[in-house]
Amino acid sequence: MMTNPRVAIVGATGAVGVELLSCLETRNFPLASLKLLASKRSAGKQVAFRGEMLTVEELTKDSFADVDLALFAAGGDISREYAPIAGAAGCVVVDNSSAFRQDADVPLVVPEINPEAAFNHPRNIIANPNCTTIITLMALFPLHQKYGLKTIIASSYQAVSGSGQHGITELENQVRAISNGHPVEISTYPRQIAFNVLPQIDKFTDTGYTKEELKMLNEGRKIMGLPELKVTCTCVRVPVYRSHSISCVAQFEQPVDVEGARACYEDKPGVALMDEPEAGVWPTPLDSTNGDTCFVGRIRKDLAVDNALNLWVVGDQVRKGAALNAVQIAELLVKGN
């Protein structure tokens, strides 16, 4: 258990780092001090936090001597180099990258699903899951508790901010170019993203699935403690600024019914129903943007798969899909439960 830990944010000037700072402030996270770490290029920048201006420091191997808890948001290469250094110095790392997610001795945690896993971290490293995995499992875990999850068939509709600021800028520039009759420039994505959808996120593997698509399979099994869970997924980039959406067919061990499924979300933290289709009420990315809640709607019995429900879930991938989940893990460590 940590009491008022000395905290560091690694990658403090990036999109997730900025969101981490916001979550720490708005959730009144108890800390004794806060150190902001980034590349040499960003060192010296001033950042506001709780009425004070903090100076960003350059990340070095000596950055963690006076840190109890480090929230990493700087990418896999940085995490692979610096997270073990921080852990060896006695600092507990909550890492947002994919670097350690499948390591057997690194817990992969969604606090609403497997909070107990956060306390078994022999390397002082705790992994934050993939954003799409988190959002999908937030919708499926309450149903799993009642019916027993067996199979996931999913298609994701992922916002350009999942690619960082470059993705947002590319969409903005392409929309502007098209509106003004100018040629479209392509750099971040393999094809035009404006007024288009791209059925590839991350690199293809020899299975024909992308690395992003396999994350839901591998991470879902680990988080849920279901080594036999079957998952097939198609991940699609869409011209939306923020918040991911997932269409999901979930098959269960037990027979399912719609009203019983809706009741599963009563009083569940972090997830809520928006499911009145006859009134035009169903969740969209804008409903979850800049918010902490994942919204579920379009719940119906699947017509092709036995004991299955078809549903739609949206969530802000920068908050619950990254920064918020990391801060919630840190809160577990502070509370000790």
pTM: 0.95
Are both 305 and 163 inside the same structural domain?
A: yes
Are both 141 and 116 inside the same structural domain?
A: no
* pLDDT at site 145: 97
Residue 9 pairs in a beta bridge with 36, 71
Q: Under 8 Å CB-to-CB from 77, ≥6 apart: which residues? A: none
Is the predicted pLDDT of residue 126 greater than 90, yes or no? yes
* pLDDT at site 97: 95
Average pLDDT over the chain, rounded to an integer? 96
Report if residue 1 sits inside a domain. Answer: no
On whether the CB atoms of residues 217 and 133 are closer than 8 A, the answer is no
Report if residue 208 sits inside a domain. Answer: yes
Measured CA to CA, the distance from residue 89 to residue 52 in angstroms comes to 28
**Residue 80's domain spans which residues?**
6-129+322-335
Are both 149 and 125 inside the same structural domain?
A: no
- 298-316 pLDDT tens trace: 999 999 999 999 999 999 9
Report if residue 301 sits inside a domain. Answer: yes
Per-residue pLDDT, averaged over 37-57, amounts to 94
- 324-333 pLDDT tens trace: 999 999 999 9
Q: How far is CA 67 from CA 51, 93, 108, 316, in A?
A: 22, 10, 22, 29
Of the candidates 242, 233, 218, 220, which has an alpha carbon nearest to the alpha carbon of residue 163? 242
- 58-88 pLDDT tens trace: 999 999 999 999 999 998 999 999 999 999 9
Is the predicted pLDDT of residue 235 greater than 80, yes or no? yes
Helix and strand element counts for the chain (H, E): 8, 14
Report if residue 224 sits inside a domain. Answer: yes
Task: Measure CA 62 to chain center.
Answer: 29
Are both 119 and 264 inside the same structural domain?
A: no
Per-residue pLDDT, averaged over 136-144, amounts to 98
How would you class 267 by CB atoms within 10 Å of its CB: exposed for 0-12, middle for 13-18, buried for 19 or more? exposed
* pLDDT at site 2: 81
Per-residue pLDDT, averaged over 214-242, amounts to 97
Confidence of residue 13 (pLDDT cuts 50, 70, 90): very high
**79: Cα within 13 Å, side-chain hemisphere:** 22
CATH number of the domain to which 53 belongs: 3.40.50.720
Would you please indicate which residues are annotated as catalytic (active-site) residues? Answer: 131, 244
* pLDDT at site 3: 85
* pLDDT at site 337: 63
